[in-house]
Structure 1
Amino acid sequence: MMRKITILLLGLLLIPVNGLAAGNSKVSVDVHYLVVSAAEDGSTNMMNMVNYTNQSEKDYTGEGSGEAVLHVTLPNEAKDLNFLDNKIAFKQVDKGFITTTPILGNQTMVLPYSYRMPKEQEIKLTVDYPVQTMQILVPEGRGSIEVKGIQSTNQGLFKFDDQNYWGYSIEGIMPKQTFTIVYNKDVQPAADSGKQNQTASTAGSNSTVTHTAPAFHNPGHLRMWAQSPFHRFNPHVFLIILSAIIIAGISYYAYFRRKARLGEERLGADQEERAFKLLMAKQKAIMDKIIELEDTFGDGKLTEAEYLAKLDAYKQHLVQVKLKLRDFID
């Protein structure tokens, strides 16, 4: 199950998100994926995959003179921190961990990590950087969540690798903003909760959960988009432009291929027409020679032997021409 969740997070990193002004922060989070599920001992697994984007052209090495590049605050009582990318250096500190690997200018660093929370305990999350979108995913049949302290959206069910997930979306989280997730592994969402047009106020808070949203994109997308030179483009617009270029290229190729083929066919037809006219001219010339030979023999200018020899030669030549003409007619 943990392996499937890791693959899911890697695949989801291409889902497009809406823009969010990062304010004065040089680093913002394009999208934060969080998969919440129950562990065998009853604790709560928290699998995270976060896209940190450097807004500057210069490499980002953190604020101040310390070694920390990114600060990640974890909930109180979080335990068993597991960092899933050995190419990024990190250190565990009080209330979370830091990374020490710089983020290249105008590039995105993908930070994968997980931790566990005690059983049936409310999970208080605090973000350290502006977050455009947080997507919280719960495997179908493994409980449900309630979000307090911030507006969230129930996005219904989607399927990945033979496993369904309930999706919840939070937009526009500001730095140092705190909200709470209540996970209950024994309470499942209603089957139609992702389709009803309604809002539900959370008791004791100003949170509103809206039960309408577009479905998730296909989670088979690769995270390489976030690290590619095109990651700043809207993937949908980029796909439309790329499709238009491909279609135009195919259309032009087909057009010029057809034009060349018609030209070849026309050239072939012209050559056949010239050959046919040449054979017709030869046939007429032979017939004229035979008529002339008859006149010459009638005037007594040729002996019978000479006449028959020339007539036989003309007839053989005429037969060959007629056979070639028959090829055109047949």
Structure 2
Amino acid sequence: MIKKITLLFLGLWMLIPFHGLAATGSNISIDMHYLVVSPAEDGSTNLMNMVNYSNSSSKEYKGDGKSEAVLKVTLPDHARDLNFLDSKIAFKQVDKGFITTTSVPANQTTVLPYSYRIPKGKEIKLTMDYPVGIMQILVPEGMGSVEVTGAEATSQGTFQFDDQNYYGYSIEGLKENQTFTLIYKKDVQPPSDRSSSSSKQSSSTTDNGNTSNVTHTAPAFHNPGHIRMWEESPLHSLNPHIFLIIVGVIIIAGISSFIYFKRKARLEEERLSADKEEKAFKQLIAKQKAIMDKIIELEESFNAGKLPEDEYQAKLAAYKQHLIQVKLSLRSFIE
């Protein structure tokens, strides 16, 4: 019990998902939900989730007693490639998601981090099995936008973490059993914070102060000098209008090719950036777990009388400081 309390007490804050997490029992609550949405290489949608369950009771929470489930997670239809990121919590996959079988200590918190994918073209329909106060949806900049139907979502603008910008959306006051749909548009970017400048139209002012548009018209005939130059050129046997059309097509084709390969390179760069971000996120999670394990080992050694109190306190303070730095990095990842 001591090591569980120590572990959960140091788990001060984490990220939270929002789709179908059913907290059974009135003593379990969920403060916030977070979801990072990004495109996968195969065209599917990757959804990275984390949830923080708090047990406000003075008793250890072991579920509703009707099954072995302590916490239940219901995934959307068509979800695949579930990846549970916490090896310290026992879980089992079930028909519509997964359950955990590790109890939540009294007055403490349990964190569930996991991810999954929704295949291309499949609907992401989410049903809340519990009321949700605030839900945060995050999309890496340049990787599209989301649209929510069935609930009111508010745009939160952009923010930066580790040289990567994100666009955020917020949903408040979701009710129990409320259903809404998340539409991910990876090719549609959110509106820019900067307003686009309007096109300007040339105008002139008349003597009475009224403004009128100025229109420049082409002459009704070709310039004689241009005609003479064409007749004296090696291309005079060609129709000049057809020649200009061919040149225009070549220029347009060149510009189109340049834009295509430029966009292809940008998409590849965005994909590599997304992989780098997910790798960094997982490394932070692993580092946090390693520090918590060290704290547990230190606690056990001290309780067994293998360490003097001054050495124990010094090492515990160092571990706590390191843990705080890791948690600040995780906080910056989603805020």
Query: Could you tell me the TM-score, scaled by structure 1's length?
Result: 0.51
Partner of 1:130: 131
Partner of 1:74: 75
State the shift of 1:175 in Å. Answer: 2.9
CA contact 1:29–1:129 (8 Å) conserved in 2: no
Partner of 2:39: 38
Q: How does 1:23-172 map to 2 (within 5 A)?
A: 25-172=26-173
* Paired letter, 1:86: S
State the shift of 1:112 in Å. Answer: 0.2
CA contact 2:36–2:137 (8 Å) conserved in 1: yes
State the shift of 1:114 in Å. Answer: 0.4
With over 3 angstroms needed to count, the CA separation of the structure-2 counterparts of 1:153 and 1:89, relative to structure 1, is: same
CA contact 2:61–2:106 (8 Å) conserved in 1: yes
CA contact 1:47–1:114 (8 Å) conserved in 2: yes
State the shift of 1:62 in Å. Answer: 0.8
CA contact 1:143–1:185 (8 Å) conserved in 2: yes
CA contact 1:156–1:193 (8 Å) conserved in 2: no
CA contact 1:13–1:223 (8 Å) conserved in 2: no
* Paired letter, 2:180: F
**What is the distance in 2 between the residues matched to 1:150 and 1:23?**
24
Q: How far does the alpha carbon of each residue in 1:212-235 deviate from its partner, in whole angstroms, 9 at most, with x for none? A: xxxxxxx99x999xx9xxxxxxxx
Partner of 2:217: none
Partner of 1:240: none
**What is the distance in 1 between the residues matched to 2:126 and 2:158?**
24
**What is the distance in 1 between the residues matched to 2:24 and 2:75?**
23
Partner of 1:183: 184
**What is the distance in 2 between the residues matched to 1:133 and 1:127?**
12
**What is the distance in 2 between the residues matched to 1:223 and 1:135?**
23
* Paired letter, 1:84: L
Q: How far does the alpha carbon of each residue in 1:243-266 deviate from its partner, in whole angstroms, 9 at most, with x for none? A: xxxxxxxxxxxxxxxxxxxxxxxx
State the shift of 1:173 in Å. Answer: 2.3
With over 3 angstroms needed to count, the CA separation of the structure-2 counterparts of 1:23 and 1:39, relative to structure 1, is: closer
With over 3 angstroms needed to count, the CA separation of the structure-2 counterparts of 1:138 and 1:14, relative to structure 1, is: closer
RMSD value, Cα = 3.1
State the shift of 1:42 in Å. Answer: 0.4
CA contact 1:73–1:127 (8 Å) conserved in 2: no
Structure 2 gap ranges (5+): 1-10, 17-22, 196-280, 293-335
Q: How does 1:226-305 map to 2 (within 5 A)?
A: none
**What is the distance in 1 between the residues matched to 2:178 and 2:71?**
17
* Paired letter, 1:34: L
CA contact 1:28–1:53 (8 Å) conserved in 2: yes
* Paired letter, 1:147: V
State the shift of 1:53 in Å. Answer: 1.2
**What is the distance in 1 between the residues matched to 2:71 and 2:137?**
22
**What is the distance in 1 between the residues matched to 2:67 and 2:24?**
23
With over 3 angstroms needed to count, the CA separation of the structure-2 counterparts of 1:156 and 1:44, relative to structure 1, is: same
CA contact 1:71–1:128 (8 Å) conserved in 2: no
With over 3 angstroms needed to count, the CA separation of the structure-2 counterparts of 1:166 and 1:223, relative to structure 1, is: farther
Partner of 1:239: none
Q: How far does the alpha carbon of each residue in 1:270-324 deviate from its partner, in whole angstroms, 9 at most, with x for none? A: xxxxxxxxxxxxxxxxxxxxxxxxxxxxxxxxxxxxxxxxxxxxxxxxxxxxxxx
**What is the distance in 2 between the residues matched to 1:164 and 1:105?**
38
State the shift of 1:126 in Å. Answer: 2.0
State the shift of 1:27 in Å. Answer: 1.4
State the shift of 1:166 in Å. Answer: 0.5
* Paired letter, 1:110: V
State the shift of 1:12 in Å. Answer: 8.0
Secondary structure of the residue aligned to 1:77 is coil
Structure 1 gap ranges (5+): 1-9, 16-21, 195-218, 228-330
* Paired letter, 2:67: G
* Paired letter, 1:159: Q
**What is the distance in 1 between the residues matched to 2:104 and 2:136?**
23
Secondary structure of the residue aligned to 1:158 is strand
Larger Rg: 1
CA contact 1:122–1:182 (8 Å) conserved in 2: yes
With over 3 angstroms needed to count, the CA separation of the structure-2 counterparts of 1:170 and 1:191, relative to structure 1, is: same
CA contact 1:72–1:127 (8 Å) conserved in 2: no
